[in-house]
Structure 1
Amino acid sequence: MSAPTSRPPLGRRGLLTGAAAVVLLAAGSTMAVAGASGAFGSQHRGRDASCAAPTLPGAKVSVRLVDMRSMTTRGGMMGGSGGMMRQGDWRNFYRGMMRVLASPTSVRAGTVSLTVTNTGYLAHELVVLPLAAGQQPGARSVGAGGTVDEAGRLGEASASCAAGHGDGITAGATGWMSLHLPAGRYELVCNLPGHYAAGMFTTLEVA
């Protein structure tokens, strides 16, 4: 008959079991908090580029760039992945899927600063183009590449968390520009492929 196995007293066993449970619970809580904050997920990392524009001179215009990633096209859901819009699928974009929203829509002539925030899911930009007398916003001819002619361009905000030109304002980020605008009518457009035709334009009146 084998010798009985030595065991710690019951009180000590209970204490050890309780300590192990506390460690496991703490680890589980840490994982849960980290998961909820996105530490273990990459699906939202592209939207973490938020930034604020510095104090800018002159009249201030706040611009929001908007798109809708889950919409149906004439042939069904876009992108083949839950209806998500993708930057390269611009031929599937249709009028009304995207917007440029400016506030205010009229300012005094002189120095004008535009703060441009991308609240959509795709990268966007903002280009300032003059409008001729009688010309309506959204009426520019769209070329084979899905863009419009930028002749006479007065300024551009296409950098994330910076002023001026860049590779596009990423989702959740802000870009900005300051320029001198004489009295007239101007069209604010996103000229990435397909975006103008999808509705990314608005008018700014300068008096």
Structure 2
Amino acid sequence: MNSLSRRGQIILGIASVILLTALSLVAVGVLSSVVNPGGTGFLSRTRCVTPNLPGPVVSVSLTNMCGPMMRRPNDMMGGAMRMTADRNTVAHGPVSFLVTNAGTISHELVILPLPESQIPGTRPIGADAKIDEAGSLGEASNTCAEGTGQGILPGASGWVTVTLPPGRYELVCNLPGHYAAGMYTQLTVT
């Protein structure tokens, strides 16, 4: 075998690997969209048209980092989850929440009053791996829409507008196991 044919075989092998990898990525994206047609495949992430929201807008990001490297003790979801808001204080009155799911699974936002003596993230968790939502002031769990739904799909947004009196509030994701995995943050209303 001469060096030119050996070099040609290496180039052909590299081109084959690149082509097969590209085809595999396309297949995964297409199959994800077929299995879960809400746009959860990485090639077809849902894009939402958000209306003009009244009052100050609190942008909330929902994320999860699943995998064995991110596992924490007693973490039934197998990964760290986070809820972050672009501000932690707003004035009382109408407040809009624009909630974007930057994770790989569905999430939601529930707004709960937080008593002065309570620390965020310390609510009791029930047998269903959820916290009690009694006293909730609003929820964003509808993909590309306002209010309640089945959860905000990955890559999508949802929103809700509520009138908040002064006080402390805990913003949570209350899908099973998500609160325990770290999906909460505090908002103070002045």
Question: Residue by residue, what CA displacement relative to the aligned partner does 1:84-112 show, whole Å, maximum 9, x if unpaired?
Answer: xxxxxx96226x71010001111000000
Residue 63 in 1 paired to residue 60 in 2?
yes
Shift of 1:35: 5.4
Consecutive unaligned residues of structure 1, counting only runs of 5 or more, are 1-30, 76-89
How much is the aligned-residue C-alpha RMSD, in angstroms?
2.6
What residue identity is the alignment partner of 2:77?
F
Q: SS at 1:147's partner residue?
A: coil
What is the TM-score normalised by the length of structure 1?
Answer: 0.70
**Structure 2: distance between partners of 1:197 and 1:74:** 11
**Structure 1: distance between partners of 2:24 and 2:126:** 44
Equivalenced residue count is 161
What residue identity is the alignment partner of 2:56?
A
- In our comparison, the structure showing a higher alpha carbon Rg is 1
What residue identity is the alignment partner of 1:125?
E
Residue 46 in 1 paired to residue 40 in 2?
yes
Partner of residue 107, structure 2:
124
**Structure 1: distance between partners of 2:57 and 2:149:** 21
Partner of residue 137, structure 2:
154
Contact kept? 2:75, 2:181, Cα under 8 Å: no
Partner of residue 92, structure 1:
76
Q: Which of 136, 142, 147 is equivalent to 2:119?
A: 136
Partner of residue 165, structure 1:
148
What residue identity is the alignment partner of 2:40?
G
Contact kept? 1:118, 1:172, Cα under 8 Å: yes
**Structure 1: distance between partners of 2:94 and 2:105:** 29
**Structure 1: distance between partners of 2:175 and 2:99:** 15
Deviates more, 1:66-75 or 1:144-153: 66-75
Deviates more, 1:129-138 or 1:38-47: 38-47
**Structure 1: distance between partners of 2:170 and 2:178:** 14
Partner of residue 87, structure 2:
104
Shift of 1:137: 0.4
What is the TM-score normalised by the length of structure 2?
Answer: 0.76
Shift of 1:52: 3.2
Question: Residue by residue, what CA displacement relative to the aligned partner does 1:173-204 show, whole Å, maximum 9, x if unpaired?
Answer: 10000000000000000000000000000001
Q: SS at 1:97's partner residue?
A: strand
Shift of 1:59: 1.0
Contact kept? 1:137, 1:202, Cα under 8 Å: yes
Contact kept? 1:35, 1:41, Cα under 8 Å: no
What residue identity is the alignment partner of 1:68?
M
What residue identity is the alignment partner of 1:49?
T
